[in-house]
Amino acid sequence: QKEVEQDPGPLSVPEGAIVSLNCTYSNSAFQYFMWYRQYSRKGPELLMYTYSSGNKEDGRFTAQVDKSSKYISLFIRDSQPSDSATYLCAMILSRSGNTGKLIFGQGTTLQVKP
Amino acid sequence: EAGVAQSPRYKIIEKRQSVAFWCNPISGHATLYWYQQILGQGPKLLIQFQNNGVVDDSQLPKDRFSAERLKGVDSTLKIQPAKLEDSAVYLCASSLVTGYPREQYFGPGTRLTVT
């Protein structure tokens, strides 16, 4: 079993739709939860991160963490064609004694159609 | 601010040949990472440096992969000899040493095809 599981998609939605991207994980020691966006032929870029459980909002993006279910989500409101990319979740163990190593999911490819 | 630079962007080699990739991190970033991203998968950490020292190389196939970071700035990743399964994008990232978690800034990657 992989430590982090992510549905690879592809996911295709019309412009303006609400998009929900999800990851599950098995290691309860993960404390930091990130979402990266990767455009074709580019490196990943950090969208946002959350510490422990709860919600975090940044513009059209909302990240949610449910540690009891080992489940994280990224919601994109009013999706735009420019949001078309691969979205990668990533997780880090707690700070104590760890190097901050990122464990990535396999990524979900999103296409937003005009 | 200039981003992480990598070269070459693309490389095609035959199996059993050797190849080297180069990375120049963001100025002032003491931590440097090499990742392997196989098509359809997320990046996997191969090696992490802090300045000149190796912090984590637990997933580096040391029988064929090597990496160095001279003078704590640029880094090279080498594969010798290459296998078909090494076909992937090799991403370099860098970060500051302060704060946790450290935001990693990725370069555009080198796409390697082994035939």
DSSP structure string for B91-111: EEEEE-SSSSSPPPEE---EE
- Nearest Cβ partner for B56 among A41, A42, A99: A99
A6 touches chain B (CB under 8 A): yes
Structure tokens at B32: 């440097």
**CA–CA separation, A86 and A41 (whole Å):** 11
In this prediction, residue A46 carries a pLDDT of: 94
Q: What residue of A is the nearest CA neighbor of B111?
A: A41
Whether B33 contacts B51, CB under 8 Å: no
The residues near A52 (Cβ < 8 Å, ≥ 6 apart) are: A31, A65, A67
pLDDT over 90 (residue A54): no
Q: What is the DSSP letter of A95?
A: S
Q: Residue A100's pLDDT band (boundaries 50, 70, 90)?
A: confident
Task: Suggest the residue from B56, B90, B100 to mutate for an interface test with chain A (most A CBs closer than 10 A).
Answer: B100
CA distances from A81 to A12, A95, B18 (A): 11, 37, 40
Tens digit of each residue's pLDDT (9 = 90 or more) over B22-81 = 999 999 999 999 999 999 999 999 999 998 899 999 999 999 999 999 888 999 999 999
Q: Residue A21's pLDDT band (boundaries 50, 70, 90)?
A: very high
In this prediction, residue A83 carries a pLDDT of: 98
Query: Whose structure tokens read 């929900």?
Result: A20
In this prediction, residue A93 carries a pLDDT of: 82
In this prediction, residue B108 carries a pLDDT of: 96
- Nearest Cβ partner for A46 among B45, B103, B107: B103
In this prediction, residue B112 carries a pLDDT of: 98
In this prediction, residue A97 carries a pLDDT of: 66
